[in-house]
Structure 1
């Protein structure tokens, strides 16, 4: 038995497990407490109810789910209406008749996808669309965020990305990607797929680390609130991030999987021990404790409400030359990089590439492979802060932006999310 089982058995109330075993019961609880959750269209306890339901009344996309299923089994995703009735289009782009949807509901009612001891019922809810921030990171299907909460404190989090292998489902056991998230900032850390570390989206050059999760503080607050409402002291809360409505509650797990530890490169047991027995005053206090305890070093306990300086994605910064003069340049924030990088031409013009200015030569991985680069001492002004730091020197002559600011030099800053159009243009 591990820490998860010990806490599950001793602290989670039996009433709370009811919400973990029934998505519909959880949805009712959320709606009664004005918590955001996908809209319910219909519930089916019998085939007569399924046959009588008019699917054409649904004007947009929808999802069919078993009430007591888990692991993404039995979920049918309908993306849109087909060009001709009574056809729909599923997540693969294939046409599917309303009769086929009813047959799928029949399989659910027969208990094909239900967890042992749960209700063999089905329901239909609205489909939450992919947030623009994640569109380049998924094959198809909507990604979700899982937050592990214990004692009203968010202790660990992970972004789950559907892949071709997972058939559009955000379930790691079916081949989805799990990406660890820094609790303090909501910035992604590293990815795993089939329990192996991955750095990029499959068949893409898109990095998995350095992505800022939208509405991060609200996401943590929502997860903690779900824990409070369900009475589950230890649970995993799954949420979709909607572009306009923010985090939306999808599911709660009284016995969440432990792959989240690999994605975060940290053990869950140690984090649970750090918050066990703490007196948490309220929801806001719990979120603050989680951010302070479990933020990565670069986070510096960053929280939006602390009034810390906000930095744009393309800030103007100043660098001091060897002769003491200040020169201004346009830079780019790169939270996926540990150390700041400066173009060789700029470093040379500032007199910072002389032998005495070079601190050491280090190995750096780039799109060109492993490179040995000089690391120099530089003094920069970012916003109102004067920073003395070590930066790597690279050939960025062909890049529009000559300076990349790594997370090591972002302590005390809150990075403003980039508008989606600007991000793609960059």
Structure 2
């Protein structure tokens, strides 16, 4: 056996995470995660689970009973909903305006759905008419959408889609991983049947827990499925519906029975992540959802003004920009990765690159969650301008900061998250 050297205790370097996520977690969330473990059926634990459900109903702006956590990253929430709802052969429609629309289609294909996509160029979003026309043509059982796609930094309007889906008897799902908590999302008012999210962006926590919410219509669709475990039928099902859910871990029918009053054993809840998710929601509601979204809008606007003041070009249709992420076109002659590396090495600031058709063409700069703060915006602008100057790009010295300050001066008070 080769010699083994015991590694040192984990001691991550200090970073200011100003990319598309993850971001720096709120210190209060980290403290909650450090709490001692308790048993999964301890009354205190089941009480925390019930409180978490109630908190996220307010976050998602819904009355849905089934508002809970999936243990895993935000993709676990996406997969749990799709694998538990899609039957083999179901037609699904996916409007693709970035990387994560392609992801929804890929997961749906794994569920053996008949996947239909419509696409717009990266940097644009869909009009409701375009989506309704596709629904009429495809006649899908489900519409799978992304609310905010960090690959393009754009926000797809959803407010009119629920009514369209109701008229055409279509179940309506959206992935709100990158948008929830920093952009308006009204689950009930907009008629959305299922939403999934993650903690690591606007919610201000670590990756590893996926809040979801399910409408009564989506619950009925899930419970109509049959689950087979060890050859035994474990859920009621409708006559003629013989398709089983092929994932045990992501079977939402079983997970609902675990979170519900039955407390039927399914898995051991990820206790520390539940504490984190509960604290994320508690902090959001303490701030107020409208105030939190306004804070993200303010700091996103200041970052945009600073980037434009620096003379840099932005990416995509700004009318549909997410509050919390900005696409910045890498100037000609500038090595985008070298700039990112120097920001990290010399200032300990991380901004994002991109992928797909935008690889090497844009940076993605985030202002979200605990990092949607004036000091974070100004530090990032100052550092980026200094590094760009170092790499030969001439800017009007200090104009980026002045432009951002003008945005802040235009409001009476600059909101900021509590420092914990």
Q: Which has the higher contact order (CA 8 A, sep 6+)?
A: 2
TM-score surpassing 0.5?
A: no
TM range (shorter): under 0.3
Looking at CA atoms only, which structure, 1 or 2, has the larger radius of gyration?
Answer: 1
More helix by share: 2
- TM-score of the superposed pair, with normalisation by structure 2: 0.26
